[in-house]
Amino acid sequence: MIKSKYKWHLQQPTEYISGQVMAKFKLTPIVKKILESKSLVEENQIDAIINDGVIDYDPFKLSDMSKAVERINTAIDNKEKILVYGDYDADGVTSTTILVTTLQRLGAQVGWYIPNRFSEGYGPNELAFKNAHDEGISLIITVDNGIQGHNEIDMVQKLGVDVIVTDHHEIGNTLPLAYAIVHPMHPNFEYPFQQLCGAGVAYKLAQALLGDVPHYFKALVAIGTIADLVSLTDENRSLVKQGLAQLNDDCPVAIKALLNEAGYNDEINEETIGFIIGPRLNAVGRLEDASLACELLMTEDEEEAVFLAEQVEHFNRERKDIVAAITEEAMAMAETQVNDGNLFLLLAKENWHEGVLGIVASKIVETYALPTLILNIDREQNHAKGSARSIAQVSMFEILNAHHDLIAKFGGHHMAAGMTMNIDNIDELSTGLNQWMTTLQQTTSLDPVKKVDVMLNEQDITIKNIKDINKLRPFGTDFNKPLFELNDLTVGSVKAIGQDNKHLKLALGDNKITALYWQHGHLASELQDQQPINVLANIQINDWNGNQTPQLIIEDIAMNQQQILDYRSKRKQVPYTDHEANMIVLIHPKSDKTNSNEYFYGEIVEGHFDKVVLKDLPEKMEDLAITLNHMNFSQLYLVLQHSNSIYFEGMPHMDTFKKCYKALITKQQLDLQQHGMHLCQYLNVKPNILKFMLKVFLDLNFIVEENGIIKINNQPDKRSIESSRIYQLRQHRMEVEQRLLYDEFTQIKEWIKSQLS
């Protein structure tokens, strides 16, 4: 039995698409079910998903847009110096590129500034703003930040520098006293779509300033939108569709150079941005100054683009190595906190690279399904800085805002945040966050849930159906890639693949559909041929040398049957640790118990256990049967370690016992060291067999032994050889070895199942 990591919640449509709408859009049954699972049943909704209609709301409906445009135009007319103040992530550098390019086209005297993640942190920085004033800048425009920069904005405006905030992050209880605030969620304005990213807001400002914007701006908006994980619906969806079309039709030289360095030359889709373009743009700001990413995006020179893209790729490779090292340490700390019952994981350590902590936090959340904050402790500065990632049930902005008195500075939204705090407050914050989570748990389930769009049969997994599903792209936040449940797929083959066998490759069902499960290579030892399993998976087309085949990308796996797993080979590494919860280990009665979860064969152990490990060989099958009869389990591991096997030595024939006994009577006494080998040759047995027969005779009191001298007892009790306890133990051991070591594994499994209550 393999437990699923998530609760699988199959979406049950409350409304259905009419036959008329199906016919109009030529919807196939599988596409119809997907749309219904997402509650997209109206004609206009489906039209917005399937067709390439443009959604382009009036930019002047955004808060303070007219005021912002008027101030910018005044600055241009008066030849004032303007500074675009950006951010160091992919959304921030695309936002900066859009607005700087816009102002350059208008003839503005414009410069740009990306704060350093490590020395300045997220958002407005007081020293940077003061320096801007000292350099004669009279207008600062923030992009993808600023809504939480109250003090810095107030300070610089008092110096005579106007600040226009363009941002999309959560708005706090109060607004900064900026000259203008362009924000889709401004409480005093009603923009038709509130989920624009920073690049989207910068794009709308560019529209208001230019009227007709360059087409490649939409490519930059698509990158910012997907990389920042904002909602891929409504206007965002329209912008991303147009941006992807631009990237494929006339890719900017900067993006082309970036993809070439990554070795990617296929069609550009949302996954290309999410897994290749976005992480590389982010990598620069995570490790160094993100200005390099802006310089790349702003260049139109191919040679310069190649040079800059090479540097970006270098940072990306370095970023991966750093993430791997920190993740290993953080996972160990997280496991300890989870075992202690923590519901919010606050992990803090010195010398962790601040730039990658968001990535590490995401990996922790993916593993433990708990909100996570990871901090780097800087003793010299007496502060800790880091990143937080959340789960669907918990707003990271809300929970951190509830403890703002312990935090020097933070910003973010429902699923993510960045922050700086005093080191002395870490323990108190951890306690407070866990108390908050404990209260939440009383009314809200924290169990991780995967929403399943559609239940499929194996016959539904066809190239045609996958191509129809792909017509619904792009997928992303609030319009996730469809997740399918497939049950009772027979395992055809199992293999761990990749470096260190990290990943799992399966062939499933009658059609031997290829399935991949990333980071779960360890399950290769728990899955066996012909077992039926259930999976949650995305489906895609695997195109190899022009041959297209369906492929499953598994997100979760479950098997409802009990599993009996064969680990008798010394080459197999047993997948358990001694102190796992809800696990028992059965050992030989002559062994010493070293852990509280160890029991001897023959002891009664009642209950259901996740894992039962048969560590040693039992003395006899009856002992194993007694213990099995009172328990239930999900997985049973046959380890059955032993130092030697006697099964193939066999049991001496009764005539050999008689011949040996007669030889001893003839001699009356025997020096085993001097004459033992002669007796072995006479009996035609190995020394081990002779020793066994002598032990039987000793047990029956047929002989006595003193200092290696065997003497006959001339008045023994009349007892049969078979009555000897030593003889019976060998019989039992031979039966145990035959049944548990040398029978077919299928027979062993059937016998174990037959003994369960």
* pLDDT at residue 93, as a whole number: 98
DSSP string, 591-622: SPP-STTEEETT----EEEEEEEEEE--S-HH
Which residues partner with 550 through β-bridges?
A: 541
* pLDDT at residue 532, as a whole number: 86
* Mean pLDDT, range 742-752, rounded to an integer: 88
Intervals of CATH 3.10.310.30 along the chain: 341-447
Q: Is the pLDDT of residue 575 over 70?
A: no
Intervals of CATH 3.90.1640.30 along the chain: 59-314
Strands in 382-483 per DSSP E: 383-389, 409-412, 416-422, 449-452, 454-456
Beta strands 449-452 and 503-508: pairing type?
unpaired
Do 411 and 417 form a contact (C-beta atoms < 8 A)?
yes
Give the span between the Cα atoms of 485 and 536, in whole angstroms. 5
Give the model's confidence band at 453: pLDDT under 50 very low, under 70 low, under 90 confident, else very high.
very high
Q: Which two tokens stand for residue 332?
A: 């160990």
* pLDDT at residue 745, as a whole number: 85
* pLDDT at residue 571, as a whole number: 67
Intervals of CATH 1.10.10 along the chain: 647-723
Tell me if the pTM is above 0.85. Answer: no
Q: Domain 7-18+451-561 has what CATH class?
A: mainly beta
Instruction: Please give the share of the chain, as a percent, with pLDDT higher than 70.
Output: 99
Q: Is the pLDDT of residue 607 over 90?
A: no
**Could you tell me which residues come within 8 angstroms of residue 447 by beta carbon, excluding any fewer than 6 positions away?**
7, 369
* Mean pLDDT, range 694-703, rounded to an integer: 96
Encode pLDDT of 327-377 as tens digits: 999 999 999 999 999 999 999 999 999 889 999 999 999 999 999 999 999
* pLDDT at residue 580, as a whole number: 79
Give the span between the Cα atoms of 643 and 635, in whole angstroms. 25
Picking from 612, 602, 570, the residue whose alpha carbon sits closest to that of residue 741 is 570
Q: Is the pLDDT of residue 133 over 70?
A: yes
Encode pLDDT of 200-232 as tens digits: 999 999 999 999 999 999 999 999 999 998 999
Intervals of CATH 2.40.50.460 along the chain: 7-18+451-561
DSSP state of 30: H
* Mean pLDDT, range 108-130, rounded to an integer: 92
Give the span between the Cα atoms of 740 and 729, in whole angstroms. 16
Strands in 42-191 per DSSP E: 81-85, 109-113, 137-143, 162-166, 180-182
* Mean pLDDT, range 485-506, rounded to an integer: 92
Encode pLDDT of 23-74 as tens digits: 999 999 999 999 999 999 999 999 989 888 899 999 999 999 999 999 999 9
Do 201 and 166 form a contact (C-beta atoms < 8 A)?
yes
| Structural domain 341-447, CATH architecture | Roll (3.10)
DSSP state of 12: -
For residue 119, give the amino acid letter: S
CATH code for the domain defined by 647-723? 1.10.10
CATH of 59-314, one of 3.40.50.720, 3.90.1640.30, 3.40.710.10, 1.10.3720.10: 3.90.1640.30
Give the span between the Cα atoms of 200 and 236, in whole angstroms. 8
Give the span between the Cα atoms of 336 and 334, in whole angstroms. 5
Encode pLDDT of 616-642 as tens digits: 999 999 999 999 998 888 889 899 988
* pLDDT at residue 698, as a whole number: 96
Encode pLDDT of 469-490 as tens digits: 999 999 999 999 999 999 989 9
Compute and round to an integer the Cα radius of gyration of the chain.
Answer: 35
Q: Is the pLDDT of residue 515 over 80?
A: yes
Do 309 and 260 form a contact (C-beta atoms < 8 A)?
yes
What average pLDDT does the structure give for the chain?
A: 93
Encode pLDDT of 417-433 as tens digits: 888 999 999 999 999 99
Q: Is the pLDDT of residue 139 over 90?
A: yes
Give the model's confidence band at 577: pLDDT under 50 very low, under 70 low, under 90 confident, else very high.
confident
Give the model's confidence band at 122: pLDDT under 50 very low, under 70 low, under 90 confident, else very high.
confident
Distances (CA, A) of 234 to 33, 416, 477, 478: 21, 22, 12, 10
* Mean pLDDT, range 120-136, rounded to an integer: 94
